[in-house]
């Protein structure tokens, strides 16, 4: 069984191409507290590489990535 991740905020960014997903999540993550988790849904194929790059650079942690067809789900923990 998968461990449940407690999500504090969901951002649906489906249909938005680069660079919007990264710009939106930069704004969105400021709306949760440090230690909380944001769930992001993206259909931009670039997101699969972009979100990890973004998280590494900003110092956040991607807890889990789920790919389901065109939609990729990222669970990102705010660390800073």
Residues binding another protein (CB under 8 A): 15-20, 22-23, 25-26, 53-54, 57-58
> Closer CB to another protein, residue 12 or residue 17?
17
Return the DSSP state at 1: -
Q: Tell the smallest beta-carbon distance from residue 47 to another protein (Å).
A: 13
Catalytic residues: 18
Q: Are 63 and 37 in contact (CB under 8 A)?
A: yes
> Closer CB to another protein, residue 1 or residue 80?
80
């Amino acid at each position: 069984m998968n461990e449940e991740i407690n999500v504090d905020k969901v951002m649906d960014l489906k249909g938005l191409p680069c660079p919007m997903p990264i710009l939106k999540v930069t704004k969105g993550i400021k709306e949760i507290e440090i230690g909380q988790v944001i769930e992001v849904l993206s259909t931009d194929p670039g997101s699969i590489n972009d979100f990890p790059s973004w998280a590494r650079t900003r110092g956040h942690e991607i807890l889990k990535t789920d790919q389901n067809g065109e939609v990729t789900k990222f669970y990102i923990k705010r660390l800073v």
